[in-house]
Amino acid sequence: MLEKLLLNHYEAAAVILSGIGLTNLLLQRNLIKKIIGLNIMDTAVYLFLAAKGYVEGRAAPILLENGSGGWITNPDVYVNPVPAGLVLTGIVVSVSVTAFALALTLKLYENYGTLNIDEALLRMTNEQAELESQIIDAESEEEVL
């Protein structure tokens, strides 16, 4: 068991990181911490992909000269370019999601003055209760009149 973990230490690290990220995303009450959790989770996936895409002893997937004016076209010399492409796409997606989440968080803060979703719900229900009691007061005053 331990041997396998040591052999795949990048993957093990990626799994642990993504676990940390996911727990933060789910359990943190503060939205900024939630978003940081999301970023940790995404980064863990990139680590996993990068570790899987790297083969020891092979070159980056850019054609190398073979010394006699030509190019080395044997695919076994290079690593697979797809995982790197996936990491790039993933980074783009995670940057835009983060920006969007931060924008919504800002809106929430403007509206409620808190970064905690549950706190926001509590404040909203309190406000509603106050509003309703005001309406009831106004109605009872009308009845008295």
Partner 1 sequence: MTNIFAFNIPFVSIFLLMIAAIITPVLPVRNRIPEKLSCWVIAIVAVMSAYLLYSLTNGSQSIAFNFPMGHFPAPWGNELRAGPLEAVLSLSFCIVMLLSLLGNFSSTEEDIAPGRRQVFCVLMNLLTASLLALTYTNDLFTGYVFIEITTMAACGIVAAKESAETVRAALRYLVMSLVGSGLVLIAICMLYDLTGHLLMQNMHEAIQVIVITKNYMIPLTVSLALITTGLAVKSALYPFAFWLPDAHGTSTNASSAVLSGLILKGHIFLLIKIYCRVFGLDVIHALGMDTVIFILGVAAMIMGSVHALRQTNIKRMIAWSSVAQVGYIFLGLGLNTTAGIAAACLHIIIHASIKPMLFTSAGGLSTAAGHKKGLHALMGTFYANRWAGLGMIAGACSMMGVPAFAGFSSKMSLMLASFDSPFVVFSLAALAASSVLNALYYVPAVIVILTHRRNVIADTPAPTRLYKISMSIFLALNFYLGLFFMPLLRLITRGVNVL
Residues whose CB is less than 8 angstroms from the CB of residue 43 and which lie 6 or more positions away in sequence, other chains included: 17, 21
User: How far apart (Å, rounded) are the C-alpha atoms in residues 42 and 88?
Assistant: 12
Q: Between 66 and 124, whose beta carbon lies closer to partner 1?
A: 124
User: How far apart (Å, rounded) are the C-alpha atoms in residues 87 and 14?
Assistant: 14
Cβ contact 127:90 at 8 Å? no
What φ, ψ does residue 84 adopt, rounded to 5°?
Answer: -65, -40
* Binders of partner 1 in range 92-131 (CB under 8 A): 93, 96-97, 100-101, 104-105, 107-108, 111-112, 117, 120-121, 124
10 sits near partner 1 (criterion: CB under 8 A) = no
Residues whose CB is less than 8 angstroms from the CB of residue 35 and which lie 6 or more positions away in sequence, other chains included: 98, 101, 102, 105
Q: Which residue among 10, 13, 20, 22 contacts partner 1 (CB under 8 A)?
A: 22
Q: Between 73 and 89, whose beta carbon lies closer to partner 1?
A: 89
* Binders of partner 1 in range 25-84 (CB under 8 A): 25-26, 31, 34, 38, 41-42, 45, 48-49, 52, 82-83
Minimum distance between the CB of residue 21 and partner 1, rounded to whole angstroms?
8
User: How far apart (Å, rounded) are the C-alpha atoms in residues 124 and 108?
Assistant: 12
Minimum distance between the CB of residue 86 and partner 1, rounded to whole angstroms?
6
Structure tokens at 96: 């835009």
Site for partner 1, rule CB under 8 A? 18, 21-22, 25-26, 31, 34, 38, 41-42, 45, 48-49, 52, 82-83, 86, 89-90, 93, 96-97, 100-101, 104-105, 107-108, 111-112, 117, 120-121, 124
